[in-house]
Amino acid sequence: MLRLLSFALFLVIWWTAALFVGGAKLPSPPAVLNVIIAEAASGALFLHLGATLARVALAFVLAMSLGSAIGYLMGRVKLADRLGDPWLILLLNLPALVVIVLAYIWAGLTEAAAIAAIAINKLPTAVVTLREGTRALDRSLDEMAIVFAIPRWRAFRHVVLPQLAPYIAASARSGLSLVWKIVLVAELLGRPNGVGFEIGVAFQLFDTPRLLAYSLTFAAVVLVIETALVQPFEARATRWRPRAA
């Protein structure tokens, strides 16, 4: 109910602002809804949303897989941490726009270049989070696994992973929000479809209703994924931790 109340308040503020500013600069909710319905009826909305979500999924899985493995290695092995730390600092401070432009220059305006650029921008945040999570592992539990001669894979699965699960969940949640934004920039600069591409077209035509239609639809999809998938995963991953009073 609180979420619905918050959404209703958002609509009231938006509608009121539209009355004061004017429909040319800020279209009212019904005007934007009409554009959403028209784009959905033509099939364009689902085509562009599907293209964007596919890029998000591929880049997110690639970045999380590599970032988790590298972060775990850097957290466990001091040599790997010292060798990888300068690269990590460089990637953390390199603007996403630079990575995307370089990827398009070096690999062309291809799908692989876009996904690689998005994954590279997400990679360092996953590495940092998992490295800190690995450093926080309870060493006494490692010693217990050694004493009881637990095989390495079973020890990793039943001793290490439960401790890393909150860090993986935090990295997934923060990384997902980052990937959404970078995907739109990559599509705006060099893809022939997707929500970012449509936002670029709307900007060139000064078509504010269309821009808001695609932006809000995409935001709604992100909100559904966050509520239905990410939050339950985070709650399950941290269920063993004591709750604050």
**Cα 218 to Cα 195: distance, rounded to the nearest angstrom:** 7
Picking from 166, 86, 87, the residue whose alpha carbon sits closest to that of residue 132 is 166
DSSP 8-state symbol, 244 = P
- Give the CB-side neighbour count of residue 156, counting CA atoms within 13 A: 6
The pLDDT value given to residue 210: 92
The pLDDT value given to residue 143: 82
The pLDDT value given to residue 241: 64
Q: Structure pTM?
A: 0.84
pLDDT digits (tens), the chain, 245 positions: 777 888 888 889 989 988 888 877 889 999 999 999 999 999 999 999 999 999 999 999 999 999 999 999 999 999 999 999 999 999 989 888 999 999 999 998 899 999 999 999 989 999 999 999 999 888 888 788 888 888 888 888 888 888 888 888 888 888 888 898 899 999 999 888 999 999 999 999 889 999 999 989 988 888 888 788 877 877 776 676 665 44
Residue by residue, what is the 3-state secondary structure of 21-56? Answer: HCCCCCCCHHHHHHHHHHHHHHCHHHHHHHHHHHHH
Cα-based distances in Å from 180 to 25, 55, 151, 175, 184: 25, 9, 39, 9, 7
The pLDDT value given to residue 10: 87
The pLDDT value given to residue 159: 84
**Cα 32 to Cα 218: distance, rounded to the nearest angstrom:** 13
The pLDDT value given to residue 240: 63
**Overall size of the chain counted in residues:** 245
DSSP 8-state symbol, 149 = T
Rounded to a whole number, what is the distance in angstroms from the first to the last CA of the chain?
Answer: 24
Tell which phi-psi region holds residue 134, choosing left (phi > 0), alpha (psi between -120 and 50) or beta. alpha
| The dihedral formed by the CA atoms of 133, 139, 143 and 145, expressed in degrees to the nearest 10 | -20
State which H helix or E strand residue 63 sits in. Answer: helix 44-76
141-196 pLDDT tens trace: 878 888 888 888 888 888 888 888 888 888 888 888 889 889 999 999 988 899 99
